Amino acid sequence: MITSVLVANRGEIARRIFRTARSLGLSTVAVYSSADARMPFVDEADAAVHLPGNTPGETYLRSDLIIDAARRAGADAVHPGYGFLSENAAFAQAVIDAGLTWTGPPVDAISSMGSKIEAKKLMAAAGVPVLAELTPAEVSTDDLPVLVKASAGGGGRGMRVVSRLEDLAAEIDAASAEALSAFGDGTVFCERYLATGRHIEVQVMADRHGTIWAVGDRECSIQRRHQKVIEEAPSPLVERIPSMRAELFDAARKAAAAINYVGAGTVEFLADENGNFYFLEMNTRLQVEHPVTEETTGLDLVALQFAVAAGDSLTPEPPPTVGHAIEVRLYAEDPLNDWRPQTGHLHRFAIADDPQRGNKVAPGGEKFPLKVRVDSGVEDGSEVSPYYDPMLAKVIAYGSDRAAVARRLAGVLERATIHGVGTNRDLLAWILRHPAFLAGDTDTAFFDKHGVGAGPDDAVVRVSALAAALADAAGWAAPVRVPSGWRNLASQPQRKSYRMGDVVHEVAYRYSRDGLIADGNITLLDSSPERVVLEVDGVRRSFAVAAYDGITCVDSSLGSVALHPVERFVDPADQVAAGSLVAPMPGTVIRVGVAVGDVVKQGQPLLWLEAMKMEHTIAAPADGVVGELKAEAGQQVEVGAVLAVVGEDA
């Protein structure tokens, strides 16, 4: 009987499991790294055990430390969440050997699916459709493009698309190195790449008594860098093709039965527009996107995991799928810098639904409430660390109508208050409102076809910068209600500059007896350090302004803009020399590909940095000669640190 569970994970999924555990009357134990000491999941557990260090290899991947923590805290069960050790058969066996209840599938089932190469052979033997595996030596021009994949893991790590035969060897080496770093196993394989496939998966749940549920299908086709961005249940493709769901469910049950599966798992398939599908992999754990299945079935999949681990039986059939749910993954990313993961202090984080909107009346006339759920790993004041995945939260909407759910979710994202780090929030809202998404045209080439959305246009940035400057001036003028820069006779305008990405926006304005004078048809109606009300081209708009150290955030109905005030007098010591390559984020230098004096071409990779579970290439900004190297392999660097300098000569 389970009474206390240790969650061998962190962040959002740890909080999610704690929530169910509390509802079942179980006590909870967290483990945490030094970097996570002040994260919300640590405070929410009944007990917490520190794992010294910061990197996953020092902490969340140390099975010996986790089992010792369970013993010391009095836990009698371990839940692995997802990622880290969740699909590590040796860890599962160590938990069982320690006399603890393993809230996951059997060790043999994990081992069977741990190698994608062996898993595909097992599935083919069980009658599940598979794409033929290609060894690197077998790949010919006729097979291109091919996908190089890591055998031991997923999440986009160790994965490369190769379109030219001459690039294959180098891409295999790079994928193998990334897989070795991420999963401890550098084995890779190739398969044909379907550029416009649909990523469809089936949630399975099985007990120890032979019952296997195919709970529901999900579609996760919108992906960037082979990582899922938006997931939904049920799949629009499966909804369109009448026979496909029954065939998918049958294949998923065969896959689970072939390895005597027990617990929650996901069977993933790649499908084409005609409904033909092929086995990709089986994830022997809870999925990141499990909430959309929970919302459309009414199940608590974590509660079922605990029940199955305790030996309980499932009912003969799962509940039906009702309505539609969409989940978006909100990441800390810089949209102005190729969507690189961001680190930093999260000053404000608030995602709330609007209670005034009430229920939507479905086409049949019945009331069907539109529900929004936020599964978050952060809160106001949290630090986004360079050591882990940059996902801040999952935002899920559920209702009877897919289009209404998408609109509601987009609106919730647009009204969210997120200050301190850049995010992909605007991209997510853009996708949800895109005609192709609303039509269900959501294959894996979505971004190739439609781009990655547009950031705020220049006019929005300019008026938001004006609001920021006026709020700043209002702060200086208080408590006397005389505007900053006011003159009895007309004088020079007030000026303030803000940087957004690589672009500097200069604001110029002044006051006259008739009010504000600025570029454009703008009237100032009210201003304070926190709120500025402007009439822009005859339309009244309110701008919420929040100023922090080094960043000013402006939120309005036009969108959210993060501006960095430009100091008028810059210390020369703080300036970076021309040609310098700086670290885009904190991380570890894993490889240096040049030496001082080497002649390099623009775009040539010079160094490789590992941060936030991803590998980042630092390339030459122009043709030139490497004049300085300030970093070496294995060195930990901070954001903005100069790594190398490329000049016209050495």
Q: What's the chain's average pLDDT? A: 90
In terms of domains, do 45 and 15 share one?
Answer: yes
Q: What is the pLDDT of residue 359?
A: 41
In terms of domains, do 463 and 539 share one?
Answer: yes
Lowest mean pLDDT among 351-365, 530-544, 627-641: 351-365
User: 603 vs 487, which has greater pLDDT?
Assistant: 603
Name the strand (E) or helix (H) holding 109.
helix 107-114
Model pLDDT for residues 386-415, shown as the tens digit of each residue: 899 999 999 999 999 999 999 999 999 999
d(CA 303, CA 570): 57
Q: Is the pLDDT of residue 112 over 60?
A: yes
Sorting pLDDT into bands at 50, 70 and 90, what band is 356? Answer: very low
d(CA 324, CA 231): 11
In terms of domains, do 470 and 555 share one?
Answer: yes
d(CA 517, CA 514): 9
What are the φ/ψ torsions at residue 199 (nearest 5 degrees)?
Answer: -95, 105
Q: Is the pLDDT of residue 592 over 80?
A: yes
Beta pairing class for 101-102 and 77-79: parallel
Strand partners, 494: 509
Model pLDDT for residues 450-466, shown as the tens digit of each residue: 998 777 889 999 999 99
Domain that holds residue 75: 4-103
Domain end, chosen from 63, 85, 103, is at 103
d(CA 156, CA 221): 13
Query: In the chain, pLDDT over 70 holds for what percent of residues?
Result: 92
Lowest mean pLDDT among 141-145, 243-247, 636-640, 641-645: 636-640
Q: What is the pLDDT of residue 115?
A: 84
In terms of domains, do 491 and 540 share one?
Answer: yes
CA dihedral 610, 612, 616, 621 (to 10 degrees): -110
Query: Does residue 260 lie within any of the structural domains?
Result: no
In terms of domains, do 545 and 643 share one?
Answer: no
Is residue 191 within 8 Å of residue 134, measured between CB atoms? yes
Query: Does residue 279 lie within any of the structural domains?
Result: no
Q: What is the pLDDT of residue 339?
A: 86
Sorting pLDDT into bands at 50, 70 and 90, what band is 73? Answer: very high
Q: What is the pLDDT of residue 248?
A: 98
In terms of domains, do 614 and 576 share one?
Answer: yes
Model pLDDT for residues 7-21, shown as the tens digit of each residue: 999 999 999 999 999
* Tokens standing for residue 56: 């996953």
Average pLDDT over residues 210-225: 95
Strand partners, 510: 517
Query: Does residue 200 lie within any of the structural domains?
Result: no
Average pLDDT over residues 335-345: 88
Lowest mean pLDDT among 43-47, 194-198, 213-217: 194-198
CATH no. for residue 88? Answer: 3.40.50.20
Lowest mean pLDDT among 196-205, 507-516, 545-554: 507-516
In terms of domains, do 558 and 638 share one?
Answer: no
Query: Does residue 537 lie within any of the structural domains?
Result: yes
Closest CA to 559 of 227, 335, 327, 223: 335
Domain end, chosen from 59, 75, 103, is at 103
In terms of domains, do 560 and 591 share one?
Answer: no
Sorting pLDDT into bands at 50, 70 and 90, what band is 479? Answer: low
**Claim: this prediction has a pTM higher than 0.85:** yes
Model pLDDT for residues 570-581, shown as the tens digit of each residue: 666 556 677 788
CA distances from 649 to 175, 625, 630, 642 (A): 34, 5, 17, 18
Q: Is the pLDDT of residue 222 over 90?
A: yes
In terms of domains, do 580 and 506 share one?
Answer: no
Strand partners, 324: 399
Q: Is the pLDDT of residue 358 over 50?
A: no
Average pLDDT over residues 59-77: 98
- Residue identified by tokens 């998408």 is 406
CATH no. for residue 483? Answer: 3.30.700.30
Query: Does residue 482 lie within any of the structural domains?
Result: yes
CATH no. for residue 599? Answer: 2.40.50.100
Sorting pLDDT into bands at 50, 70 and 90, what band is 635? Answer: confident
In terms of domains, do 560 and 576 share one?
Answer: no
Lowest mean pLDDT among 222-231, 453-462, 481-490, 591-600: 481-490
- The number of folded domains in the chain is 3
d(CA 255, CA 125): 10
Average pLDDT over residues 48-69: 96
Lowest mean pLDDT among 23-37, 181-195, 284-298, 456-470: 181-195
Model pLDDT for residues 157-169, shown as the tens digit of each residue: 778 899 999 999 9
User: 261 vs 184, which has greater pLDDT?
Assistant: 261
Query: Does residue 498 lie within any of the structural domains?
Result: yes
In terms of domains, do 511 and 579 share one?
Answer: no
Query: Does residue 386 lie within any of the structural domains?
Result: no
Amino acid at 426: D
Domain end, chosen from 84, 103, 122, is at 103
Sorting pLDDT into bands at 50, 70 and 90, what band is 155? Answer: low
In terms of domains, do 547 and 587 share one?
Answer: no
